[in-house]
């Protein structure tokens, strides 16, 4: 099977100004990211705020342009944003983001909005539109009597269900969900995640699920990529990464999530804040916060490399390079 979506060495740089008279200080929001998502697979993307998750999600859909690198959808390069070819492809790749109220038009009923893609992409004949809207509403757990409601007449969870129904209308092959439940009450989050998971399984949709909430990602992702300052630092299947994280950053992220009934002793605490991406630390960008940092980590950027079957990490220590480098130093 070939990947549905692939990214090769993607780079996105924001030029920002430092102070009133300061020069431009480029922020490498996404800095050489490569990934592949198979049809029907869910890739979770985790990392602290500012690690580049949202930028990467938008780049995968062609919404944000790449300074370098390439995105391919079903093996073909992504058409340039705004072209007719890209708009046609966008029906097959949908984005669900954090704020459903911003995604919906307050003046239109949710049934009208769920039906919009059917009309825009001429997906069903007019006489069948209402039936398809009803089917989509049922698929996300909205009641038929809610069809005529306006967004502000629904709860946050119901609004996000409506956004998901609209995203599904064009029968997408890929859903990019960017913090889709972060704005919802905790009690509602699991319900919406379950809706997404069920729909994805039933329809074989591939999903990129971006979240800073590891519990949610664990619940839905087949595979997880961990981002730090614009780069993937570890990637593995969800089970493997949560059971035996290798990169010290992944370990710290995972152990910062309290587990009911498990004492806090032995938890690795993530120290300090992520560094300013416009002023990236030398070597491994995580080294100023890393309890395992060695000399090599301050000077040499670790490559993302295979550290076991189906898993990669960008860390000198877990790749065993420090041992060999130190041995070489001693010999010299
Ligand atoms: N439009 C922009 N102009 C300048 N810098 C930006 C812009 N958008 C994002 N950035 C910067 O790019 C980096 C990555 O941001 P991004 O929003 O992709 O990260 P994120 O991991 O999704 O964070 P969050 O969880 O807070 O949304 C951050 O340093 C951010 O400040």
For the chain, the structural domain boundaries read 5-92+172-331
- The strand pairing partners of 230, in sequence order, are none
Is any ligand 1 atom within 6 A of the Cβ of residue 54? yes
- Check whether 327 has a pLDDT greater than 60: no
Residue 151 is encoded by which pair of tokens?
Answer: 């967004």
Helix (H, G, I), strand (E, B) or coil at 15: strand
Q: What is the predicted pLDDT for the residue at 332?
A: 40
**324: confidence class by pLDDT, cuts 50, 70, 90:** very low
State residue 202 phi and psi, 5-degree precision.
-65, -35
How much is the pLDDT for 20?
Answer: 61
Chain segment 297-309, per-residue pLDDT in tens: 999 999 999 998 8
For 191-248, write each residue's pLDDT tens digit. Answer: 999 999 999 888 899 999 999 999 899 999 999 999 999 999 999 999 999 999 999 9
Q: Which protein residue has the closest C-alpha to ligand 1 atom 4?
A: 14
Residue 75, both tokens: 């093996």
Nearest-atom index, ligand 1, CA of 54? 22
In the predicted model, is pLDDT for residue 328 greater than 60? no
Nearest CA to ligand 1 atom 30: 50
Beta strands in 18-163 (DSSP E): 24-37, 42-46, 68-73, 76-77, 93-96
pLDDT of residue 220: 93
Supply the pLDDT for residue 263.
62
Helix/strand/coil percent split, the chain, to 5: 35, 20, 40
Closest CA to 148 of 110, 187, 101: 110
Q: Which of 10, 33, 53 to mutate to test the pocket of ligand 1 (most atoms within 8 A of CB)?
A: 53
CB 20 within 8 A of CB 189: no
Cα 240 to ligand 1 centroid, rounded to whole Å: 28
Q: Using the mean position of ligand 1's atoms as its centre, give its distance from the Cα of residue 50 in Å.
A: 5
Q: Specify the pLDDT at position 121.
A: 80
- pLDDT in the model for residue 159: 95
What number does the ligand 1 atom closest to the CA of 16 have? 4
Q: Please tell me if the CB atom of residue 277 comes closer than 6 angstroms to any atom of ligand 1.
A: yes
Chain-centre distance for alpha carbon 259: 23
Rounded Cα gap, residues 256 and 239, in angstroms: 17
pLDDT range class, residue 326, cuts 50, 70, 90: very low
pLDDT at 125: 84
For the cut 70, the answer to whether the pLDDT of residue 331 exceeds it is no
More confident of the two residues 64 and 321 = 64
The whole-angstrom separation of Cα 5 and Cα 36 is: 6
Task: Give the number of the atom of ligand 1 that is nearest the alpha carbon of residue 12.
Answer: 12
Ligand 1 centroid – CA 56 distance (Å)? 10
Distance CA 132, CA 129 (A): 5
| pLDDT tops 90 at residue 154 | yes
pLDDT in tens, 67-78: 999 999 999 999
In angstroms, the CA 172 to CA 27 distance is 32
pLDDT above 90: percentage of residues in the chain: 69
pLDDT in tens, 242-281: 999 999 999 999 987 776 666 666 666 777 888 888 889 9
98 lines ligand 1 (CB under 6 A): no
153 Cα–ligand 1 center, Å: 32
Which residue's CA is the nearest one to ligand 1's atom 29?
50
- Give me ligand 1 centre to Cα 143, in Å: 37
Structure tokens at 291: 């309890």
Ligand 1 centre and the CA of 55: distance in Å? Answer: 6
CATH architecture classification, 5-92+172-331: 3-Layer(aba) Sandwich (3.40)
Burial (CB count within 10 angstroms: exposed 0-12, middle 13-18, buried 19+), residue 65: exposed
CB atoms within 10 A of CB 331: 6
């Amino acid at each position: 099977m070939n990947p549905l979506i692939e990214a090769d060495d993607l780079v996105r740089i924001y030029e920002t100004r430092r102070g009133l008279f300061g020069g431009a200080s480029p922020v490498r929001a996404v800095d050489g990211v490569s990934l592949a998502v198979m049809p029907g697979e869910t890739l979770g993307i985790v990392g602290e705020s500012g690690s580049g998750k949202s930028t990467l999600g938008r780049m995968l859909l062609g919404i944000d342009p790449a300074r370098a690198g390439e995105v391919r959808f079903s093996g073909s390069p992504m058409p340039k944003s705004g072209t007719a070819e890209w708009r046609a492809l966008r029906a097959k790749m949908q984005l669900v983001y954090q704020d459903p109220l911003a995604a919906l038009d307050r003046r239109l009923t949710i049934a009208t909005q769920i039906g919009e893609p059917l009309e825009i992409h001429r997906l069903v004949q007019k006489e069948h539109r209402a039936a398809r809207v009803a089917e989509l509403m049922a698929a996300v757990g909205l009641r038929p009597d809610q069809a005529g409601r306006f967004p502000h007449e629904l709860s946050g969870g119901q609004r996000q269900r409506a956004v998901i129904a609209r995203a599904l209308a064009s029968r997408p092959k890929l859903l990019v969900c960017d913090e889709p439940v972060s704005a919802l009450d905790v009690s509602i989050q699991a319900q919406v995640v379950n809706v997404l998971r069920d729909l994805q399984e039933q329809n074989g949709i591939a999903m990129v699920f971006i979240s800073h909430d590891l519990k949610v990602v664990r619940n839905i992702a087949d595979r997880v990529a961990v981002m730090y300052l614009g780069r993937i630092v570890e990637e593995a299947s969800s089970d493997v990464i949560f059971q035996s994280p290798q990169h010290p950053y992944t370990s710290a992220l995972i152990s910062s999530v309290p587990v009911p009934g498990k004492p806090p002793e032995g938890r690795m605490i993530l120290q300090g804040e992520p560094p300013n991406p416009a002023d990236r630390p030398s070597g491994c960008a995580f080294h100023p916060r890393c309890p395992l940092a060695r000399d090599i980590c301050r000077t040499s950027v670790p490559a993302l490399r295979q550290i076991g079957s189906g898993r990669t990490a960008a860390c000198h220590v877990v790749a065993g390079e420090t041992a060999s480098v130190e041995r070489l130093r001693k010999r010299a």
